[in-house]
Amino acid sequence: DGGITQSPKYLFRKEGQNVTLSCEQNLNHDAMYWYRQDPGQGLRLIYYSQIVNDFQKGDIAEGYSVSREKKESFPLTVTSAQKNPTAFYLCASSYGGSSYEQYFGPGTRLTVT
Amino acid sequence: GQQVMQIPQYQHVQEGEDFTTYCNSSTTLSNIQWYKQRPGGHPVFLIQLVKSGEVKKQKRLTFQFGEAKKNSSLHITATQTTDVGTYFCAGSEAAGNNRKLIWGLGTSLAVNP
């Protein structure tokens, strides 16, 4: 099956710990995106990547980091510097820029206490 | 920066009633996309509109793109309980880098059987 996988579905961490969220796609898409979703806030872009070994900050990049070493993978690290990390994190991919539809993974719900 | 305003934030209807959500952009868009997110799920692409004044239909769903390419609407005729979810619009700036979408906050639809 082609698609995007995110793991785990639920993640619990203690405050002060870094945590890495996984995102893998086998759709042969060039572009990948990380969004954060909070109740009533819609989707906010954290980071995006148009090509391997290149990525750009989105609207709320502070406290997050990413890498794009392989076309299929775009992991997101939530660092201890992120003040309010508890949220629903969605990864998406597309063939290219904003004129292409985005395919979303099932999401990871992160809870930090 | 560019904003996409979406109204209403919530809508509660009786099954069989019609439903409309509206998106308004502060600047001209090159395209607009619509997504649906079921409760507990992830956004799923519905459609993309590109041309000024474009109207597209998918069964009971009608999508419109304004003449000035600054606004769009999604109309559902005779809602069903399967229509429950949050509907997002997302647009791309006509004068932007065309790499990322600007998302509305979504309209949450509840349908009473």
Residue B1: pLDDT over 70? no
Per-residue pLDDT, averaged over B1-26, amounts to 93
Selected residues 68-97 of chain B with any CB under 8 Å from a CB in chain A: 88, 90, 92, 96-97
pLDDT tens-place string over residues A10-33? 999 999 999 999 999 999 999 999
What is the rounded average pLDDT for all residues in chain B? Answer: 94
Size of interface A-B (CB pairs under 8 A): 60
Give the CA distances from residue A76 to residues A51, A83, B40, in Å, rounded to whole numbers and listed in that order.
16, 16, 21
Please report the DSSP string for B10-73 in residue order: EEEEETT--EEEEEEESS-EEEEEEEEE-TTS-EEEEEEE-STT-EEEETTEEEEE-TTSSEEE
CB contact under 8 A, A56 and B31: no
Question: Which residue type occupies A59?
Answer: D
pLDDT confidence tier of residue B94, bands split at 50, 70 and 90: confident
Burial of A25 (0-12, 13-18, 19+ CB in 10 A): buried
| pLDDT value, residue A1 | 56
CB neighbourhood size of B18 (10 A): 11
Per-residue pLDDT, averaged over B75-90, amounts to 98
Q: Which two tokens stand for residue B37?
A: 């997110």
Residues of B in contact with A32 (CB under 8 A): none
The answer to whether A57 and A49 have CB atoms below 8 angstroms apart is no
What does the angle CA A43 – CA A20 – CA A103 come to, to the nearest 5 degrees?
A: 40
pLDDT confidence tier of residue A2, bands split at 50, 70 and 90: low
pLDDT tens-place string over residues A34-80? 999 998 778 999 999 999 999 999 999 999 999 999 999 999 999 99
CB contact under 8 A, A40 and B9: yes
Kind of pairing between the strands at A108-112 and A87-94 = antiparallel
| pLDDT value, residue A97 | 79
Distance CA B104, CA B97 (A): 18
H-run or E-run covering B111: strand B107-112
Nearest CA in chain A to B48: A101
Interface check A61 vs B, CB under 8 A? no
